[in-house]
Homo-oligomer: A and B are copies of this chain.
Amino acid sequence: MHIDSIFHAAQAAFLAYKNRSGREKGHFLETLAEILESNRATIVPLAVRESNLPEGRINGELGRTTGQIRLFANLVKEGSWVEATIDPAMPDRSPLPRADIRRYLTPLGPVVVFGASNFPLAFSTAGGDTISALAAGCSVIYKAHPAHPETSRKVADCIHQALSACGLPTALFTHIEGGIEEGQALIQHPVAKAIAFTGSHTGGMALFQLANQREEPIPVFAEMGSVNPIFCLPKKCENETDALAKAFVASLTLGVGQFCTNPGLIFVPEKQAEKFERAIATELKDITSAPMLHPGIAKAYYDSIQLLEARNELRWVKAADSRHLINGSPVLAEIKAADWLKDRLFQQEVFGAFAFLVVYRNEEELLKIAQQLLGQLTITVWAELEELKSNPILINLLQEKCGRLLFKGAPTGVEVGHAMQHGGPFPATTAPNSTSVGTYAIKRFARPIAFQDMPQSLLPEALMDANPLGIWRTVNGDLSK
């Protein structure tokens, strides 16, 4: 099918779908969740084979995917997400009467979604980007990730089944396979209204620049990963060395380190560094290397490490065992904070179970680090309460550098909920005011429209006087149902 035909069909499907009720959209999403689950026995082995991820993980990921779909189904069935806001007419206002103005969120149009390699289900074909765009009322042109083509085709079939079952146009979702050129053509097509992407910095920035060079620039929601620093403060590090080392190694090596929230940077106080490193070494002993997503990812991992091996500033706490065709083994390099501060290379993500252990001398150095730190998806602070209280400037600064700030546990494991913020200042994303996980993700694919003096009978239900949907609305500045 020619790209113009694809987009025109997607546009027609969008115009037909966008004004369907939240109930209908929610029903479609629920139907999709059921169909995906009833195909578990087919989908899971496909995804396991194409991603090298263990069956338990993929089974869990399918549950995460359908859970996410149901979360958005409930959101749109309830309906308040549209931010309905009503300023009723004031015909007698002096000196000028006030018109009746009503605002809500309307979907953007056809959206292009790029799948991620490291989540063949939850961030791919029927993943968070596709689902939040469909929930908002957009149509989706989905560019499959070449690392898991069969999984992607199978899930696309499930989406089409769900559309058919609900009497919705199949052009609401189009599954595209191809390489970089095909992806570029999708971004450049004039009918496209937004781009969603999860992947590498290089990939995300290429899309971003292309989208901005269009005759009509369109928003790009690119989640490009980060190094997710952990700041370990002295007392906490002293008091809980073993537990923290255990938590760090578990997070570093989870899924062979192939998470955008993988901790690639940990700041450790000089006094506790040796003890902490010993505890880490103990933990690492039991970690066996495991296959990465595909040989290209493993090669990139070892290539990055090889480049770093030429740097004199680094001391290898745990060196690469050997360069393997597919298995990734954890690697840890120690560096002094003074050296780390001198070169931004040490802030670059190495996709896999690699981290810099940065040894700092004092609070002053910590503040310098916080100032120089690039934007992150997450930052974790391991500190005793008294240490947090005595470092308000540090905590204040760290908030400027991340989308999520943790005070316990590790950054991996992104909860799908209402309060989740999975995003962050550049270069973590190209759109720091958005999230790609959690219910607020739907807002990326909608924009406000105001109706002035629209006849009641023409208004969308969300804005009618009688509030037939029973949603939360802001009327004259006050929230009510």
From B106, B219, B375, B405, A454 is in contact (CB under 8 Å) with B405
Cα distance, A404 to B409, chains bound together (Å): 46
A427 to chain B: closest CB distance in Å? 7
| Distance from A446 Cβ to chain B, minimum over Cβ atoms (Å) | 7
A23 to chain B, nearest CB (A): 18
Chain A 422-443 residues near chain B, CB threshold 8 A: 423, 425-427, 430-433, 435, 439-440, 443
Which of A80-88, A299-307, A320-328 participates in binding chain B?
Answer: A80-88
Q: Give CA–CA (A430, B80) in the complex, Å.
A: 27
For the complex, is A151 an interface residue (Cβ under 8 Å from B)?
Answer: no
| A window 71-115: CB within 8 A of B | 74, 80, 85-87, 96, 98-99, 101-103, 106, 108-109
* B216 and A458 contact, CB distance less than 8 A: no
**Using a CB-CB cutoff of 8 Å, which residues 29-55 of chain A contact chain B?**
none
Interface status of A19 (Cβ within 8 A of chain B) = yes
Nearest B residue (CB) for A477: B418
Q: Mark A405-430, 1 if CB is under 8 A from B, else 0.
A: 11111000101011111010111001
CA distance A315 to B448 in the complex (A): 37
B interface footprint on A174-215 (CB within 8 Å = 1, 0 otherwise): 000000000000000000000000000000000011001000
List residues of chain B with CB within 8 A of the CB of A212. 208-209, 212
A84–B129 Cα distance when bound, in Å, is: 23
- Contacts A403-B448, A421-B450, A450-B404: A426 and B216 contacting too (C-beta < 8 A)? yes
Q: Are B448 and A435 in contact (CB under 8 A)?
A: yes
A106 surroundings in chain B (CB, below 8 A): 399
- Decide if A407 touches B452 in the complex (CB within 8 Å): yes
The 8 Å CB contact of A87, one of B99, B405, B417, is B417
Q: Which residue of B lies closest to A88 (CB)?
A: B419
Q: Is A312 positioned at the interface, with any CB of B under 8 Å from its CB? A: no
Does A217 lie at the interface of the complex (its beta carbon under 8 Å from any beta carbon of B)? Answer: yes
User: Are the CB atoms of A420 and B457 closer together than 8 Å?
Assistant: no
Chain B residues lying within 8 Å of A447, measured Cβ to Cβ, are 403, 423, 425, 432-433
CB distance from A467 to the nearest CB of B (A): 15
Q: Answer whether residue A389 sits at the interface, using C-beta atoms and an 8 A cutoff.
A: yes
Whether A449 and B418, one on each chain, are in contact in the complex, defined by CB atoms closer than 8 angstroms, is: no
Question: How far apart sit A219 and B208, CA to CA, in the bound complex (Å)?
Answer: 12
Query: Which residue of chain B has the shortest Cβ distance to A101 in the bound complex?
Result: B419
A345 interface residue, CB < 8 Å from B? Answer: no
Whole-angstrom distance between the Cβ of A259 and the nearest chain B Cβ: 15
Chain B residue at minimum C-beta to C-beta distance from A11: B400
Assess whether A455 is interfacial by the CB under 8 Å rule: yes
**Knowing A19-B396, A419-B87 touch, does A454 contact B101 (C-beta < 8 A)?**
no
Q: When A and B form their complex, which 4 residue pairs have the shortest distance between CB atoms, in order from nearest?
A: A421-B450, A408-B453, A406-B452, A87-B419
* Chain A residues in the interface with B (C-beta under 8 A): 15, 19, 74, 80, 85-87, 96, 98-99, 101-103, 106, 108-109, 208-209, 212, 216-219, 375, 385, 388-389, 395-397, 399-400, 402-409, 413, 415, 417-421, 423, 425-427, 430-433, 435, 439-440, 443, 446-455, 457-458, 472, 474, 476-477, 479
